[in-house]
Amino acid sequence: MNTFDTIRAIRWQDDNLVLIDQRCLPLREETIVCTQVADAIEAIRDMVVRGAPAIGITSAFAVVLAVRERYRQYGDQWQQHIEDDLQRLSEARPTAVNLGWAIAEMRQQFANLGAGDPVPQLLQHAQLIHQQDIDANQTMGRLGSALIDSGTHVLTHCNTGSLATGGYGTALGVIRSAYQAGRIEGVYADETRPWLQGSRLTAWELVQDRIPVSLIADSAAAYLMRQGQISWVIVGADRIAANGDVANKIGTYSTAISARYHQVKFMVVAPTTTVDMSIAQGAHIPIETRSATELLECNHQRFAAEGSSAWNPVFDVTPAELIDAIVTEKGVVMQPDSVKIAQMMSS
C-alpha cells in the first residue's frame, strides 16, 4: 500500500471472512468474523459492509463459506444443497448489481471443480475477484485523475473508498490519485443522510490518509457550487444501465442537477461489474427502500414528531445526460449514451 492507500475492510483471515463493522465507525474500529454464509448475509443486509463492489467481494467469499458448510454436511453431494444459500445471499441487497455478478462468477467455477474438497479452488477465485477489484480501482484512479485540472477542490457524495470496495476506492480512488498527483488541494464531502456515510466513513478514510476534507450538509452542495469552490463532483455507482443512467446513493440525482446548473462537471467512477447491460435505462433499476426508522430515529432515539411517517429510498437514478464522464477500468466514456457504453463494454 502507498501513503494514500492504507485501509482494507475485507479480509480472509484464519479460514474465515473478517469485515470492518462500518456501523461503528468512526467512533470505534471493530470487526465482524463470518464463519458461516448466514453471517455474511446478515452483514450485507445490516450494513456491516456496504458499497456495491464491497458487497460483491463479500458475496464471493460468502459463497466459499456456503460451499464449505455444505461440503462438510453432504460431501461430494454439496451442489445439490447449495441453492437455498445462494438464493438467500442474492436477496440480501437488491440494487447493487455486483452482488448477483459475484455469485454468478463463483457459480461458474462449480463446473470446473475436481474431486475432493472444493473450497481451496473457490477461495482462490474469490481472492482473485478481490485483487482484480483493487487493481481496477487503481486504474480508474489514474484515468479519472487525468481529467482534473490542477489546484482545485472536488465534492463527493456517500462513501466510495476502501470501505466500499476491495481497496483504494472508485470515486475516492480518483481523489486519492489526484491528490497524490497534486491535481486537487482538498475534498468537500456531503454528510450523506440518513446513514451519514460521508461524515462517518468518507471523512474517516480521508483523515486516515491525511487528505484535507471538509464536511458539508447535503443541502449545502448547491450553495458551495455557487461560490465557485469546486470543479468536479465525483461519485460512485451501485448500478449503471445500458444507456449510462446511474443508480447511486440517494441525493446523487439532486447533486447532479445542481452541478449542471452551476457548470460543475460530474464524474461517475465504477468498475464494469457495475454496468448492467440487461437493463436498458435507469427507470428499470430496482430501488431499495429501507425502514422508516432510519429517518425517524438516531441511535435508537426517536427525534421526529410522533405520528409522522417517512419515505426512505436508499438510491436514486441520475440520467446519463447529467453525467460528463463515466470512468471504468476499461476507459473513460465522455457524455455517456447507449452506443458509447456498448462500445466500452465490448472493448
- Beta strands 16-20 and 31-34: pairing type? antiparallel
Taken in order 93, 95, 100, 101, is the CA torsion positive or negative?
A: negative
Residue with cell 461458474: 108
The catalytic position among 39, 85, 209, 238 is 238
Are 63 and 119 in contact by the 8 Å Cβ rule? The answer is no
Tell me how many degrees the CA angle 7-12-14 measures, rounded to the nearest 5. Answer: 120
Are 328 and 344 in contact by the 8 Å Cβ rule? The answer is yes
Q: Which of 48, 52, 34 is nearest to 273 (CA)?
A: 52
> Around 27, how many Cα atoms within 13 Å sit in the side-chain half-sphere?
2
* Kind and range of the H or E run holding 224: helix 221-226
How is residue 119 annotated by DSSP? H
Q: From CA 337, how far away is CA 347, in angstroms rounded?
A: 16
Q: Which residues contact 244 (CB under 8 A, 6 or more apart)?
A: 320, 323, 326, 333, 336, 337, 338, 340, 341
* 238 is annotated as an active-site residue: yes
CA separation, residue 215 to residues 22, 185, 210, 218, 227 (Å): 18, 15, 15, 9, 16
Q: Pull the grid cell for residue 267.
A: 464524474
Active site residues: 238
